Chains A and B, each alone.
Chain A
Amino acid sequence: MIRRFFAILWKEWKCLQPFYFLLLALFVVGLLVVQALEFMDEYPIWDALAEATGFSVGQTFVLCIVGVLGLLTREKDEGILTYLDGLPVSRFSMYLAKWLLVVILVFMLDAAWMIEGLVYEYLSKESDSQPTPWQHLGTYLFLHTFLIGYFVSILMPISFLRFWSLLVIPAGWMILSILETIGTPYITWINPFALIQLPEKIDDPWVIPWKHMAILSIIGGFAWFIGLCFYGMMSAISGRKSREFMQSSWGKALTGLGIFGGLLILAGLFVGLSYSMVQNDALPLETVPISGADLREPLEDENAIESAISEKFQFVYRRKMAQRIAPLLKEADDIFNQVAQFLQAPPPATAGRVVVDFSSPLGSHNAGQAYWKKIRMSFPEELQLAEARAILGHEVTHVLINNLTNTRLEESFGSARWFHEGLASYVEFTIFRGKNASQDYDHWLALSSTWGEVHFEEMVSNGLMIKNRDPNIAYPAGMECIKAAIDVYGEEFPAKILTSIGRPDAPRKLEGLELWRDACLAAGYDLERIRGRFRARLKDLREEHKATCESMPEITKGKVIRQDGQIVITPELPEGWQDKAPTDATLICRVRPDDFAEPGKWRYSKLLDDNTFAVSALDFLKPRLSFQVGWRNKNWCETQPIFGQWVEAPLEP
């Protein structure tokens, strides 16, 4: 029997010859690409893995698709299945051989890449290099191999759809992404692309996600079995009736409907089941919204949509808001003109109307959002006119920045967020708010930069900012940087720099310091002087608020445990912190499952009586997480707590 199995394995090996030549060609190309783009003796394996893990999993998935498509149906299409059925080999053996061979071939490519990486690792060794992380490499290869097996198992039954599988695979992936985006509980456990998460540092332990693997194994095993059943039932020569039915439009429609319906039902079941497992009443904690959200309400008369037009705006609002927003509508054109005048916006950039949408829901942390010629803004009942004017001014600045730069900054948003928010905040505070209104921002920035200097290099990399500290520092730090630039080059700076960024011959998609060096040079400015002035201003701020800063220390250590469906964080608080802290000041904590988690997935907790923080464990399925402790003070950071750095911590059992 074993011999027969090996014989069928050999037959599959011969059949898959073009596939393994493709894999070989990919390996050779990978080899050449490294020679063409890297110094191979400065290419440690861990750095290469950390850089390419996501890409590598995606690539493995694509290779599995290429290997599997046609694998089961080709023989029937070419009429070989009749011959194979005549041999003393079971369909099970054939199915297993096919599965095994694709897994082995894709694994071999991975293994070959790993060996290549190890050669570079050897060449890159220096006396102070980290030791080769053998254990991590073993874990990586193990998880990767598991994923190959999983992908092939899932893809084999789908491959029966032939051409249509090219639609089903992206659809399945899309459904998974949507479930992930809406934060469906437990979704991580069915997402194979989230299985491999390298430890932050090379010497951190890598805890194998056994639970995740067990769940994927069940799904993969089930799919494998379904595939086997299909393959077992597949007749070498279809019966006339069944063939006719399957080839008819109704047959195809039913098959397609079955698959898509199945996918949707499975997704629906998963969502329903996972939400039903959430026990909200078990959570004694309050989630801290930064400001109130204007959630969608059922449409009634008072919720009917109305619109109003001014010279510069078209407003969309609900009938019940009409009276509340009327004073703002009257002043809106004036607000627009003030901003346009400050930015010296020429007529083409101010032409047309900007839509202001007061009616649709807005993220809970936002007072407004700006897009190309559109602003979304919430207008809760308690919002004062002065505040609304300032918000509108802030958002109009964003719109005009987009217009004046011809949306060039959107191409490099990660490098430009500080500028967008900084300039908009500058306009908001200098034109629309009173003197000393930016005191809160000053406190915020003083405290943040006391905890850790705010470097311009960090500001021009939003990703780095999100990874390491509070990304909202972009507001006060950006404003301070704009102030520094205005100190050096005068009030003309914003207008001139915007013209420079939007110039038609500017290089596109520049990132980081390069973008700002280019913009400043084209405007005749010296970025280094602005940076110098920015540093000096930060220093002055720290001096000015020294006493406050000393009374609110940064919390950077703590233990994290999972307990009774909650993640409990015990921060290491300095002795006597409560005595030193200002009255009304309290601590707050937010937690994220990983470095790349969107702010919507961050969970908040206030300090509990036993000096711990706790959030629901529902979204934290990995053995590590990050937390960030911040301060809240009724006087100046009630609505915008000030957070320190993100602290990555293992989840202790």
Chain B
Amino acid sequence: MTGVLFQKEWQRNWFTFLWLGILIWLIVLITCYFYNAGGTGAGVFSGIGMGLMILMPISSLFLGHALVASEFQSKTQLFLEGLPLPKWRMITMKLFLAFAATIFYAVGCILIGWLYAQGSEVVTPRFLGILLSSACGWALFSMGFFFVTGFLGRYRFLIYLLLVLSILLLISSSVPMSRFPPYALIDYSRFGLEREIWPISNLRFTGIFIVGWVVAAYILGLAKEGSISTMLGEKMSYREKMFIGGAIVIGGLAISSVFSQPKPEPFSLPGAVVEEWDGVEVAISPEDPDPDKPVDTEVAIAGKLARRLAEQRDWLGIPPVNFPKIFIVEKTDIEEKEKIDWDESLTDNSILMYAGYREPEFSENRLLSWTLSQVMRKNSMKRVGREHRWWIICGLEGLWEMEQADPETIREREKLAVEAVKKHGLTLNNLWDWSKYQKDVEWRSADAVAWMGMRHLMQSRGKDIVQSFARRTVTRRFTRVDGRAVVWDYSNPVAPAFKAATGITLEEYVKQWREYILSFESEKETKP
């Protein structure tokens, strides 16, 4: 009877067996040729590994369909169940054929590689054994999986889609897929290159999987008529395919959107001078790596900066727990005349500034103000960098920088603002189009204009009003890139926030601001 069963399966599926074999070996042969001819790969077996990784699941899918799923779809299993024959024998025969065919393909692939690699590889029995065991392990795993899912009929495509999405997700995540069995057996970076160490652990785990598939296949296959396999075995309608396909893709996308967020990683500067004040930590690292060199300059800058940052943090109302760590690295070749630069690539709550703090042009006040503006950018996921809010930051920067500046620097800055306003004016639209204004008047002059606006606001209405305005517009914390920040931005526009904080409209204030700046021009004219 076993012979009859074999004959039945063979007659029904010989074409699939043969055709798949020809195709797989043809593709492997072509792959071998190109891997060798290009001279850039690790050898023919490396190419075969890649081929097996893709071709074995595809061939198993077809075999699973031909041996199992199509039997249920065409309802021929009902006839078979009517025969005086135990079901387990039919399943065993199908399993045997499936496993035999897939091993035949895998071994064939390796033998093709062996023949092809005659001119470039020494194939020792051990090496051949490692290759064959890895290839067969992978092939049997694939076959077992697709054999079992063949019993699930219409819903197997759902499982395949889920599987593909999960693999894509894992590959794109930080999970090292290539280290897990059974995938590790045909990992492209090792397959065909490991000649001495048997992949025992990977084979053992793969073996457990295969046994699991076999058991599952018997459980599903031996279930009585009217069981889950028969019910599921029917063909899926077009509507079902689209609905389930869509649902899976959508589910997968939704899950991947949750997983794709970057992971923060703690940053530090080992060996740097660290000063702390009221929860604000400032670390400074000198460029000279000599550990014996005195670090008085670094200690002084870090200490002062930490104190002033803590003051401004409280003034802005940023909770100490949210305030980032500040790292400053000495850099002597900064081209900008301010001698300050920064790095925005840190993903955790840290700020990395570069400063040529021994250069004559360097200003500690400027380092403070620029560090604070970086803090606010970080705090808002760079949302304050949008131009309709950026002028506020520029103004605040100026306030912080000029707070302890010498009169000469203040006069120079005032002069810059006067010249900018004289030449390009200042209107409400300039605030909304701040980037263009910065380009037109040069950013340093634009900063000076913004600073004078804030200074005038502080002088005319008090520091508390400036604080209230800043807290309403630029201190909001965002921790994720998503639509919520945009919604907040649109529901908290700057102009009404200004009116709420100061009591006058922004338009009205801009007129006062312009006149205030221009009044310094007349002062200059009257005081030659």
Contact = CB atoms under 8 A, between A and B. Distances in A.
Nearest to B12: A249
Interface stretch (A14-22, A212-220, A230-238, A639-647): A14-22
Interface stretch (A81-89, A252-260, A616-624): A252-260
Contact of B39 (A17, A74, A360, A509): A360
A363 B34 contact: no
B91 interface: no
A535 B386 CA distance: 33
Interface stretch (B238-246, B363-371, B444-452, B468-476): B238-246
B337 to A, nearest CB: 18
Interface string B257-296: 1001001011111111000000000000101010000000
A608 to B, nearest CB: 29
A533 B289 contact: yes
A507 B174 contact: yes
A17 B243 CA distance: 11
A524 B271 CA distance: 9
A529 B293 CA distance: 15
A536 B332 CA distance: 9
A411 interface: yes
B436 A66 contact: no
A352 B19 contact: no
Given A33-B257, A260-B23, A293-B39, A529 B289 contact: yes
Nearest to A529: B289
B439 A128 contact: yes
A253 B375 CA distance: 69
Given A29-B253, A371-B189, A532-B330, A518 B265 contact: yes
B81 interface: no
Interface stretch (B113-121, B226-234, B310-318): B113-121
A26 B193 CA distance: 43
Given A127-B436, A128-B435, A524-B270, A488 B486 contact: no
Given A126-B386, A532-B330, A371 B42 contact: yes
A314 B120 CA distance: 12
A353 B287 contact: no
B176 A360 contact: no
B433 interface: yes
The listed residue with most B CB atoms (<10 A of its CB), out of A126, A163, A357, A600, is A126
Given A29-B254, A126-B435, A178-B30, A507 B285 contact: no
Interface stretch (B215-223, B410-418, B477-485, B517-525): B477-485
A373 B119 contact: no
B194 A357 contact: no
B268 A357 contact: no
A171 interface: yes
A80 interface: no
B253 A39 contact: no
B76 to A, nearest CB: 13
Interface in B320-352: 329-331, 333, 345, 347, 352
Contact of A26 (B195, B249, B383, B432): B249
B243 A363 contact: no
Interface in B185-206: 189-190, 193-197
B175 interface: yes
Given A359-B120, A372-B194, A39 B485 contact: yes
B434 interface: yes
Given A178-B30, A521-B268, A535-B333, A35 B23 contact: no
Nearest to B121: A316
Contacts of A293: 39
Nearest to A525: B270
A13 B238 CA distance: 14
Nearest to B490: A41
B99 interface: no
Contact of A373 (B195, B271, B387, B432): B195
A517 B343 CA distance: 13
A35 B254 CA distance: 12
Contact of B483 (A40, A307, A316, A517): A40
Contacts of A174: 27
A407 interface: yes
Given A127-B433, A521-B266, A526-B270, A600 B238 contact: no
Interface string A510-542: 101110011001001110110011011001000
B23 A359 contact: no
A539 B333 contact: yes
Interface string A119-138: 00001001110000000000
Interface in A461-476: none
B93 interface: no
14 contacts: A26-B246, A29-B249, A127-B437, A249-B14, A353-B196, A355-B195, A362-B39, A369-B40, A372-B190, A373-B194, A509-B176, A526-B269, A532-B287, A532-B331
Q: Which 3 A-B pairs have the closest CB atoms?
A: A127-B433, A18-B242, A127-B436
Interface of B: 14-15, 18-19, 23, 27, 30, 34, 36-40, 42-43, 46, 58, 62, 65, 118-122, 173-176, 189-190, 193-197, 238-239, 241-243, 245-246, 249-250, 253-254, 257, 260, 263, 265-272, 285, 287, 289, 329-331, 333, 345, 347, 352, 381, 383, 386-387, 432-437, 439, 481-483, 485-486, 489
